Amino acid sequence: MRALAALLLCAVGAAAAQTRYEGLCDASAAVALDARHFVVADDEHNRLTIYRRGEAKSVGGIDLDKFLKADKEADLEGAAQVGSRIYWIASHARNSAGKVREDRLRFFATDIHGTTVEPVGQPYTGLLADLLAAPALAPLKLSDAAGRAAEAEGGFNIEGLAAAPDGSLLIGLRNPIPQGRALVIPLLNPAELVSGKSPARFGSAIRLDLGGRGVRSIERVGSGYLIAAGPPADVGSFALFRWSGKATDVPAPIKADPGTLRPEALFAWPDGQVTLLSDDGGVMVGKKACKDADKSKRAFRALDLKP
């Protein structure tokens, strides 16, 4: 992990390591499909887009509107690979006005087929209800959080998803951050959810000191995890941490400045290298925010962290 920390420290400030990928702005989750391709979710659209490493234009994509049965964007925020399967999670959050958004209650899976993915099983829509009903999570008072807007103080917002060695998943919350600690909740039976066999089962919540920040992305790298942390709302600083995965271990900050990037997703390549994606939906393109610009002008930045 020391070598990885040194790698991040050297690479984050290097503008030459950045790549611009075209076609979407709000990169929110991603997974490497092989040594050259990755698939990325956009939290403004129900579509997965596939890119070849280092090349600006996409090489494929999968529309998910029909599969997700969503009338509006599902607000996809996290992804985690277990074998040849990728699990995806939506924010499960209310909108900025505090209104319930049923389309955001989605947990689903895709299977990797070469350099593309295909949806498998069925979307699970009961994850939030399961979280709120879990006795072990009652002290977190997530019912109160789930009644507030996603970015409101003490609101509820899922943004991270990572694989654990035993095939379970870790759900990372951007909000709430009780007592200044970010929340990571183990999801024990992801395969059963997408096969429609049973409700979600959870392990004990893990509280992490990320300097008052929440989880924006979490990824298993080697024997531990990397965490991109950020504020629950738009105002605040971002930071990177390495964490052993043990609940009793404190995450170690990586002294690196992401500059103008807004880290929203990170993923590891088969060779152990890491790519950090920026949510550039609010970046101005002429007189418009990127997400409102013509599609031909939309793009997001990626930072490749190389040894």
- Please report, for the domain that includes residue 280, its CATH number: 2.115.10
pLDDT at 9 over 50: no
| Total number of domains in the chain | 1
Q: What is the C-alpha separation between 155 and 142, in angstroms, rounded?
A: 9
Question: Mean pLDDT for the chain?
Answer: 92
Q: What is the C-alpha separation between 92 and 68, in angstroms, rounded?
A: 14
What average pLDDT score do residues 83-101 get?
97
pLDDT digits (tens, 9 = 90+) for 158-196: 999 999 999 999 999 999 999 999 999 999 999 999 999
What average pLDDT score do residues 273-301 get?
92
pLDDT at 31 over 60: yes
What average pLDDT score do residues 188-208 get?
96
What's residue 8's pLDDT? 43
pLDDT digits (tens, 9 = 90+) for 261-277: 888 999 999 988 999 99
What's residue 260's pLDDT? 85
pLDDT at 14 over 90: no
Q: Residue 264: left (phi > 0), alpha (psi -120 to 50), or beta?
A: alpha
Q: What global pTM score does this model have?
A: 0.93
Least confident of 12-21, 43-52, 58-67, 214-223: 12-21
> Where residue 1 falls among pLDDT bands split at 50, 70, 90?
very low
Top-confidence residue, 124 or 237: 124
pLDDT digits (tens, 9 = 90+) for 220-239: 998 999 999 999 998 888 99
Q: What is the C-alpha separation between 28 and 76, in angstroms, rounded?
A: 7
Structural domain including 49 reads: 2-305
pLDDT digits (tens, 9 = 90+) for 41-50: 999 999 999 9
What's residue 257's pLDDT? 66
What's residue 5's pLDDT? 41
What's residue 15's pLDDT? 40
pLDDT at 82 over 60: yes
